[in-house]
A and B are shown apart, each in its own frame.
Chain A
Amino acid sequence: MESKRVLSIRDLEISFKTTDALVRAIRGVRLDLFQGETLAIVGESGSGKSVSVKAIMGILSSNGSIDAGKILYTDPETGEEFSIVDMSQREIRSKISGQRIAMIFQDPMTSLDPTMTIGKQIMEGMRYHYQVPVQEARRKAQELLELVGIDNSAKRMKQYPNQLSGGMRQRVVIAIALACDPQILICDEPTTALDVTVQSKILELIQSIQKEKNLSVIYITHDLGVVAKVADYVAVMYAGRIIEKGSVEEVFYDPRHPYTWGLLSSIPDLNLEEEELYSIPGNPINLALPFQGDPFAPRNRYALNIDFEQEPPLFSAGGKHRVASWLMDPRSPKVERPASLERRLKEMREEIGRNE
């Protein structure tokens, strides 16, 4: 059975007014999220991952505005539709954020209120949105704490964030996110700030909760290695645009965009320790300055002349696979992926195979 679409983003454009320029942070993003599935958004720092999801939650900074496009949320249970772009920030928060769509942030050390008990912070959403009676809210918060793997929940409820380790705090943040039974969970680099050993545990926790509650998950990361483990779909962002997207199989079996190649090559390989870690040359462009052509062209070894003149459209690579690169044009010369990357891809496919 085809699963239901819960979120669809069409041609989204977002810009920020700063004192000296207009930053065009998101330039025509198109994405879909289906019930129970995981969409991963990857890309270097500043590519627009967080901004895209903040727009969905109605928490863009006050200098940002949605200039064009649609964000459509469909409640998978009731079929109710919400056009988020047409709602005021106040309306989004009273109907969507925290209740139907919840979010987890990068740094658990700073994402909890240091002067409020864990219990109060978990109960806050339920009490605020649904006026759940204290007793019931407390019971539910305790259940949530146990669900996210925190024992001794009655005692933990009365503790303050600084009495918990980073991994524990991230579990609390997850409990907060689940408090109002959302259908979509957005995780903005949920493990980046954690110890490596804790990272995989949090990842597994998110996956098991997703399965149990049939959640749809948007998972933001700059680690393509994580994507292979958790995602059904991948969207690769660069300079405010999605430059390659498709199912995990499509993108990992047959990546087409040189930027994706670069990201894939820069995943640390645990088997080959001595090899120096690859990184894409140069820096992302500054979106506050005007540019011509493909913003990735100056960093692209495979750039064609046209890349410096005109930004490529999204070409289809079959199935759901889309690539914004002139290399996809039938008139372009044929370019082979580097041999070292092919080796890495083979390993990663095995990883995906193991998870199936």
Chain B
Amino acid sequence: MVRYIGQRISIAVVTVFLILLLLFLMLELMPGTPFNDERLTDQQRDVIMEKYGLDRPILERFFKYMQLMLKGDFGISYTLNKNMPVSFMLGQRVGVTMSLGLQAVLLGLAIGMVLGIISALKHGTWLDSAMSMIAVAGVSVPSYVFALFSLYVFAFLLRWFPIRYNPSAPGLSGVLPVISLSMFTIATVARFLRSEMLEVLGSEYILLSRAKGLRESAVISRHGIRNSLIPVVTVVGPLVVNLMTGSLVVEKIFAIPGLGGLFVQAITVNDYNVVIAISFIYSVMFVLVMLAVDILYSVIDPRIRLSKGGPA
């Protein structure tokens, strides 16, 4: 078990390293530089490039960057906020994005689970059909459509919520963004859990626990839910990816001062260090989530925890 977790962690570290390398290469291939101002002559540009060390070979730059990054220094912004340290620019924004994302994941998981369990228990009734329809909509409609729609209805027409996100009062103004972001999670978890649960409820060990004389509610809470929840852990990874990409646009719509909005801006003006830092943060978050999912799954499922071929 410990060996397995160690293995997973080292894989995660290598992954992060490779991602960083790839980001460097990709930016290199991107057209243009941060200094595309038409008033600059070629010579002036060369001077600036030299000043920031951008004339050095890519590998050298990469290792230098790594060194500084490990100390928490992500370099400075070239264009957006000239010479401001990137770590300072990202500081509060990371918190905003993470907190909204976390709320959306938790809300999505909670509501998705409840809906999934209810549909499975009410399998074949109108309630089940209604929930299936909601779930299909939730999976197929992108989060920014929800965002625009809810913004229009609940903020603009009904005026229940403010239109803009307010970082100093994140409670009320965060409701619509969090719900828009969590729609996909709700729908995916509900659908997945419903089918897992139906399979579990048809299994022989459920029949056996009924034959033990357990009340139906006890059968479901002790054996049904537990067994169908375990595999849900496996869909959390893809959900987080969806949430990250969704947040890019949703942040823009609600004018949320998070990473997403900054990311889009930075790309349009080739602000290398900002782009790399944000991509890197996203990647690390994703790798961490996957790592947590893997470890969690192997801890909660005794079949994996104890199987001979698997992690021992």
Which A residues are within 8 Å of any B CB, using their own CB? 57-59, 89-90, 93-94, 96-99, 102-103, 105-107, 110-116, 124-125, 128-129, 160, 162-163, 173, 176, 180
Contact = CB atoms under 8 A, between A and B. Distances in A.
A93 B306 CA distance: 34
A113 B205 contact: yes
Contact of A111 (B204, B215, B306): B204
B152 to A, nearest CB: 42
Given A160-B302, A162-B303, A59 B204 contact: no
A93 B214 CA distance: 6
B227 A94 contact: no
B208 A173 contact: yes
Contact of B204 (A57, A105, A129, A163): A105
Contacts of A103: 208, 211
A97 B226 contact: no
A162 B205 contact: no
B208 A112 contact: yes
A102 B211 contact: yes
8 contacts: A90-B216, A94-B213, A98-B214, A102-B212, A114-B227, A124-B214, A160-B306, A163-B306
Contacts of B226: 115-116
Chain B contact-residue range equals 20 to 34
A115 B227 contact: yes
Contacts of B301: 115
A93 B211 CA distance: 8
B41 to A, nearest CB: 70
A221 B272 CA distance: 74
B305 to A, nearest CB: 9
Contacts of B302: 114-115, 160, 162
B223 interface: yes
A128 B203 contact: no
A7 to B, nearest CB: 16
B205 A114 contact: yes
Contacts, number: 85
A105 B213 contact: no
B230 interface: yes
Contacts of A59: 207, 210-211
A129 B213 CA distance: 8
Contacts of A90: 215-216
A267 to B, nearest CB: 27
What 10 A-B pairs come out closest when comparing CB atoms? A98-B213, A98-B212, A97-B213, A160-B302, A111-B204, A110-B204, A103-B211, A93-B213, A113-B205, A59-B210
B83 to A, nearest CB: 56
Nearest to B302: A160
A38 to B, nearest CB: 19
A276 B56 CA distance: 84
B211 A57 contact: yes
Contacts of A105: 204, 207-208, 211
Contacts of B215: 90, 93-94
A97 B227 CA distance: 23
Contact of A115 (B216, B218, B230): B230
B212 A124 contact: yes
B213 A110 contact: no
A116 B181 CA distance: 35
B209 interface: yes
A347 to B, nearest CB: 35
A196 to B, nearest CB: 22
Contacts of A111: 204-205, 207-208
A105 B215 CA distance: 19
B307 interface: yes
B211 A107 contact: no
Contacts of B208: 103, 105, 111-112, 173, 176
Contact of B212 (A106, A115, A125, A163): A125
